[in-house]
Structure 1
């Protein structure tokens, strides 16, 4: 029996029978969004296949292999994609765990085998949680094994302590010596970073470091370690552990290990966000000759007014890559006369902020007043986040009205509305077609859905 509360559940036959017995007001059901249907149905089918395989599980997995291959064959037939037959599982039922280059000299002389390559104790295809419990591997021991098999590494930590770095510095040295690329972002926040640790990282080959010296506005608390593999089995750790000895060994820290095989969109967002930090002027290149500046910054941090961060008066400026998009938008309008423009950028790179910056620039032509704005998207939480972004960029805590769910606007002039409400209320029937000066449709890949 279905319990009351929130769902995001594909309606199957069993659930449909229950829903038929409920009054209309007690249920909220919508068509699966065409733009999200692949992800939604894949997740649902995964659950069904998992249950089915569990029911025929045994010491002999031939029945499971047979079922999997029937599914692969059916998908290949239904989609008319013969290349999908290459995904048929071999009858031996094996898993590949490692490969060595056939030219590896140590393998050729019999001193190295693929099965001996170090690998993390936790899976590289299933996400997991580290809580610092006694029975779990310590963070630093897992990171050492991740480093040994990574092709490139990104680290985002608010501070770097020598006590933590020394646990893995030899591993990083071997990684860099064999051609691995290491990028590190850190800060001078609270004066916690050790100059010795940053200098040790700087001396590694194939290593780049960027530091935020701005302790007035930058509050980077993120702790993330990303291990990219050309094999496609990328992993990442995100949580509470800075690069310090207690955080890496004995502390009760919580860290989630993510993998591309079960959390690909999250890994992609982490990569995009790291790159956005890396390419902003807020994080400056640390190289030979920067040591004295770092020492000064670390010795003077923590003396600022502690209440200053609570004031909503700072200016938010676009990153260089965002400014490039804004300049191209301006050129499209002023040079080519095109006023319907599509912005495409990776998840986490700030498309909503780009639209807010664009609108802020548009406002300058209205002598200080704010032109009428319509912002359309398909989910309430995205609307709230978007309005917050506009308020921050415009430095106006009262800007914009929500028209979604239980929110009813007092004015239509600066409206953040869901596409469902826009369609059901038919604003376009009673407002002039030129009522809005600036219209933004966010998450526009959903436009393939009939509701748009």
Structure 2
């Protein structure tokens, strides 16, 4: 609860109309981090609105603000946060790092996952929102797979099987805890299972 909200609810609290509880120390990092994150996004959006059409200047101000915040955190935790944690002057995102060196112009990088690791998503199995498409995009750059699926059709399992084999062939690891509950209630699933697959 912020000071402003505490003041606004003072009278209601005296009348017993407010329910509160102490912050659990175990939950504090997540709760307080979420609050600071919301304020940070608000400040960065303010830079975007104030910068007009000069997007380069907007980005520069946003990065400067973030680096000042990192510096302030570094003063509080000098052993945990430092200059190495500031945003680089290149203003770039790191997308991939290749395992080996290829000839100039021949370096290939895996496709990026549909859903970033920092996000979550609900797929409705329509078009590109299909769960199978999302899993295939994840497997393209994976070096370890922990997969639990319930009620997956045999056709869906076949869709993933080749890509899982590629992960293992490239040195990746398929967890021993990977579990798939295959559903074969439809005749088309049984028929698809009967079709010969690639040589193993």
How high is the TM-score relative to the length of structure 1?
0.36
Which residue of 26, 41, 47 corresponds with 1:35? 26
* Greater helix share, structure number: 2
> CA offset at residue 20 of structure 1?
1.1
Choose the corresponding residue for 1:51, options 24, 42, 56.
42
Go from structure 1 to structure 2 and tell me whether the alpha carbon gap of 1:173 and 1:109 turns closer, same or farther (over 3 Å shift): farther
Aligned CA distance change for structure 1 residues 100 and 126 (closer, same or farther; 3 Å): same
Distance in structure 2 (CA, Å) of the matches to 1:80 and 1:120: 35
**Superposed, which structure 2 residues align to 1:30-429 within 5 Å?**
30-57=21-48, 58=51, 59-60=55-56, 61-81=59-79, 83-101=81-99, 104=100, 107-108=102-103, 110-113=105-108, 116-134=109-127, 136-183=128-175, 184-187=178-181, 196=193
Show structure 2 runs of 5+ residues with no match. Answer: none
Give the Cα separation in 2 of the matches to 1:188 and 1:128: 23
Larger Rg: 1
Paired with 2:21 and 2:162, the residues of 1 have a C-alpha distance of 55
Alpha-carbon distance, 1:31 to partner: 2.7
For 1:38 and 1:91, how far apart are their aligned partners in 2?
A: 29
1:173-201 Cα offsets, whole Å, 9 max, x none, are 2222112222431347887896959xx7x
Give SS of 1:47's match: helix
Aligned in 2, Cα 1:37/1:168: closer, same or farther, shift over 3 Å? closer
Unaligned runs of 5+ in 1: 1-10, 205-452
Give the distance between the partners of 1:164 and 1:92, measured in 2 at CA: 42
Q: CA deviation at 1:62?
A: 0.9
Q: Offset at 1:108? A: 3.7
Could you tell me how far apart the structure 1 residues matched to 2:155 and 2:133 are?
15
Distance 2:15 2:167 in 1: 60
SS of structure 1 residue aligned to 2:72: helix
- Between the two proteins, the alignment pairs up a number of residues equal to 184
Provide the residue aligned with 1:17 in structure 2: 7
- Report if the CA contact (8 A) 1:56-1:64 is conserved: yes
- Write out per-residue CA displacement over residues 116-170 of structure 1, whole angstroms, 9 at most, x where no aligned residue: 4212233333222222344x44322222221111111122223453322232333
2: CA distance, partners of 1:176 / 1:80: 41
- In structure 2, relative to structure 1, the CA distance for the partners of 1:99 and 1:30 (3 Å cut) is same
Structure 1 position 68, deviation (Å): 0.6
| Residue number in structure 2 paired with 1:358 | none
In 1: Cα distance, 2:25 partner to 2:154 partner:
51
RMSD over aligned Cα atoms: 3.0
Change (3 A) 1:140 1:188: closer
Contact 1:73 1:85 in 2 (8 A): yes
